[in-house]
Amino acid sequence: METVEEFLAHAVALEEDSAVRFDDMADALEVHQNDEVTGLFRRMAHFSRLHLAEAQKMAEGLDLPHFKPWEYKWPDAEAPETPEMDATHYLMTPHHALTLALDSEKRGHAFYADLAANNGNDRIRELAMEFAEEEAEHVALLETMLAKYPLPPGDWDEDMDPPVAVD
Amino acid sequence: MDVPLEETPVYKVKSYKSDLKPIWCPGCGDFSVLSAIMRALTELQLPPHQVSLVSGIGCSSRLPAYSTLYGFHSVHGRALPVASGLKLSRPDLTVLAVGGDGDGFSIGGNHFIHACRRNVDMTYIVMDNSVYGMTKGQASPTTDPEWPGSKLTPDGPGVAAFKPLEMALSAGATFIARAFSGDPLEVARQICEGIQHPGFSFVHVLSPCVTYRPEQKTWRERVHEGFPEPTDDRREAFLRLLDDDAFSTGILYKGRTGAFQPHAEATTRAVALGDQFVI
């Protein structure tokens, strides 16, 4: 990553992908009437969109490069704050949802912290430091929230009347 | 091939999403495939009204309902003939066909072979979870012979698993790829390339069923980039498949044969042939 424009294009995509995925997960859980987790995922999507707006504002007046979705330079297969869709379960609890969100924020923090430490462009390092600090605040906030939802009992996914039964 | 983009893209992912929320089991791989299709269409900036999505029957075949594209939820195993007919009558449309492994390789197996052979310009995306999910977990054509998960086949189906990529290559498909739903950006890339390929493109997506095959969660550890670059040499592609462990991903083969074009109008109508029969 060599230019500020490239950096901000990544920042925008990171938040946009995260918002879309949290909304998709909320939709999936809403169908299964898991209202509490649906609400949490909607809130996470909302926060991602707020951060997206901030990143877009910073990019105003700049000509951001266009990357195809698979051309971004992410450390893993997807943008760091995008939770894995296959980590959902129709009976998942707020503990699971917040853990997923926390993991996403931690990955986002690590992404920016790495750029802040290792990128060769002074302005990118400065911006990445700023973003990393903000992500660290999100991590702390989610850790506080998660503390209110302890790990559920081991049989949390047992369902005596499952929506789909094996024949 | 790069597609020229407007300075400001007109279509966003949400342009392709309908108001219906998917009723798939949370955690199902099909969510990621739906998302990947929309990412690919967004990248190509294809207007929703110029894309058609045809499906068969099964969990994954519900996909057209979740998009704003013109959709056709057809008959079991018949997505490909419907899609072929549509493309031949409306060559201006981008035609996608979607479905699962049972729909595509068993009930529609014959159509799969002939769609590969016919090479009509369309893209077929199969979400393969090696099980009939909608009917509650029976062995499908791609199920391992020893899989003991169904009461109908308690010792496993006992039949060698169907090999979709080998079959597609043998039958004449000119674009063959495999991806894993847990890597949706790669799925999107393959769909994007498949749509741009002139001819029949087949994208085989390993898409775990979290309900009837929960052990498929380990697929994330098993998939690997086995086809880093496509080859245009069928012999080379066959050799690659001999080493394939069914978890190799990437674009295996991109042939250079042009898409099928009808050479001439038929000299009679099908209905006229029917008139020759006397009941």
DSSP states of chain B as a string? -PPP--SS-S--GGGGB-SPPP-SPTT-THHHHHHHHHHHHHHHT--GGGEEEEE-SSSGGGGGGGBSSEEEE-STT-HHHHHHHHHHH-TTSEEEEEEEHHIIIIITHHHHHHHHHHT-SEEEEEEE-SSBTTTTSB--TTS-TT---BTTBTT---SPPP-HHHHHHHHT-SEEEEEETTSHHHHHHHHHHHHHSSSEEEEEEE---TTT-GGGGGHHHH-EEEESS-BS-HHHHHHHHHT--S-EEEEEEE--PPPP---S--SS-HHHHHTT---
Counting as low any pLDDT under 50, the low residues of chain B are 1
Q: Domain A4-147 is classified in which CATH homologous superfamily?
A: Ferritin, core subunit, four-helix bundle (1.20.1260.10)
Residues of B whose CB is below 8 A from A78: 183-185
Half-sphere exposure of B186 (CA within 13 A, CB side): 22
CA-based nearest distance A42→chain B, Å: 14
**pTM: predicted TM-score of the whole model, two decimal places:** 0.93
The better pLDDT of the pair A13, B136 is held by A13
Residue B72 lies in a domain: yes
Q: Which residue of B has its CA nearest to A90?
A: B26
pLDDT digits (tens, 9 = 90+) for B121-156: 999 999 999 999 999 899 999 999 999 999 999 999
CA distance B34 to B119: 24
CA-based nearest distance B138→chain A, Å: 8
Residues of B whose CB is below 8 A from A165: 136
Look at the alpha carbons of B85, B87, B93, B95 in this order and tell me if their dihedral is positive or negative: positive
DSSP class of residue A100 equals: H
- Does B189 contact A84 at a Cβ distance shorter than 8 Å? no
What's residue B4's pLDDT?
56
Residues of B whose CB is below 8 A from A73: none
pLDDT digits (tens, 9 = 90+) for A84-101: 998 999 999 999 999 999
Residues of B whose CB is below 8 A from A24: 31, 35
Domain count, chain B: 1
Overall size of chain A counted in residues? 167
pLDDT digits (tens, 9 = 90+) for A95-145: 999 999 999 999 999 999 999 999 999 999 999 999 999 999 999 999 999
Q: Which residue of A has its CA nearest to B29?
A: A86
Residue B13 lies in a domain: no
Q: Which residue of A has its CA nearest to B208?
A: A86
All structural domains of chain A with their residue ranges? 4-147
**CA B66 to centroid of chain Cα atoms:** 17
Question: Residue A13 to residues A70, A166, B194: CA-CA distances in angstroms?
Answer: 11, 40, 24
User: Which domain does B141 fall in, by range?
Assistant: 24-274
What's residue A18's pLDDT?
96
Q: What is the ipTM of this complex?
A: 0.93
Q: Tokens standing for B152?
A: 């109908």
Q: Which CATH number does the domain housing residue B82 bear?
A: 3.40.50.970
Which of A72, A100, A156, A167 should be substituted to probe chain B, the one whose Cβ sees the most B Cβ atoms within 10 Å?
A167
Residue B83 lies in a domain: yes
